[in-house]
Amino acid sequence: MPDVIIHKRIKLEELDTTLSCLRITRTGDLGRMRQSLERSGQLNPIVVRPFDVSYQILDGFKRYSIALDLGWESLEARILDISLPEGKAAMLSYNRAGRSLLDYDEAMVIYSLKQEHLLDQVAISRLTGYSRSWVCRRLALIEKLDPILQDALRMGVITNSQARALVQLPRGNQPQVMRCITEWHLTSRDSAVLVEKYLASGSPKEQQYVLTHPMEVIEQKGSGEEIFDIRLSHHGNRLLKNIELLQIQQNIFISLCGQHRTAVLGEIETFILEERMERLKKGAGKVQKIINYKTWKDAE
């Protein structure tokens, strides 16, 4: 970073946004930024670098976009006299504290440093201040993640955690496993279990079973794990184990009920299931009373 940092107001027409391609614009973030600017004005300067006859934005793309929409003429800016690679590294550092960059945003910056500036992982690590393993993981989100999944990640269809799990798969298998994750509304943790089980499958038939019966596969994983806490008595551990197993079954039940298949059940199927649902309702009421009692007891 430069020793001297200059602050000045810069007209919007003098600002360059070419590096915005390394950021994903999220509607919710724009909405919150708009509310902040309308309510309190600009609280923090944008960060720019001299670029030809203009200034290239490194941090503050949302502020620029909203200011333009609101009809503002200028923004307060912090000017850094640095090179383009240093500017891209600054994009990471200025967003490190607030984690306003998601993994894929960071991956795009890292990939740009590799492709456009021909930097290897060691050089990128030195420039950004991140470890080489961190750089390697971010590059994998671009280089090893199928383009279909990259689009899904940009649009928020899958989470960063789910993408990190899916990137372990061969590219050709990633889209079908992602479809299973989205259709069954799997959590990040369950998605990781699904990928683990898929990778451990010894044949295409076993892989297909994992994708056709994901909740059963995840349930088997959970029930097979040892549930024990040394701080609890024998009875306490029995309660702990059943709480964990009940939660697994609850998650499976909620996920199944949310599937489109449930909405198209036949009349006879619905009649049979409704009877069981009534029993479940009574049992759920008792469980709720136990939970409420325990919560009340702890509060005392």
Instruction: Give the model confidence (pLDDT) of 173-219 as tens digits.
Output: 999 999 999 988 888 889 999 999 999 998 999 999 999 989 888 87
Sheet with 15-16, edge to edge strand ranges: 6-11, 74-79, 46-51, 54-59, 15-16
Higher pLDDT, 25 or 191: 191
The overall average pLDDT reported for the chain is: 87
Higher-pLDDT residue of 27, 231: 231
Q: Could you tell me the pLDDT band of residue 300, with boundaries at 50, 70 and 90?
A: very low
pLDDT at 299: 43
With a CB cutoff of 8 Å and minimum separation 6, the contacts of 217 are 193, 194, 197, 209, 210
Q: Note the pLDDT of residue 296.
A: 46
Q: What is the pLDDT of residue 19?
A: 96
How does pLDDT run across 41-53, given as a tens digit for each residue? 999 999 999 998 9
Confidence at 114, pLDDT banded by 50, 70, 90: very high
H helix or E strand, kind and range, residue 248: helix 234-257
247 or 267: which leads in pLDDT: 267
d(CA 165, CA 174): 10
Q: What is the pTM of this model?
A: 0.68
Answer for the pair 166, 149: CB distance below 8 angstroms, yes or no. Answer: yes
- Burial of 20 per CB tally in 10 Å (0-12, 13-18, 19+): middle
E strand or H helix at 249: helix 234-257
Any idea how long the chain is?
Answer: 300
Q: At 245, is the pLDDT very low, low, confident or very high (cuts 50, 70, 90)? A: confident
Please state the separation of Cα 247 from the chain's center in Å.
23
The answer for residues whose C-beta is within 8 angstroms of residue 195's C-beta and 6 or more apart is 165, 166, 168, 169, 177
Q: Grade residue 1 by pLDDT with cuts at 50, 70 and 90.
A: very low
Tokens of 165: 């799990």
Check residue 34 and give its pLDDT: 92
pLDDT digits (tens, 9 = 90+) for 76-89: 999 999 999 999 99
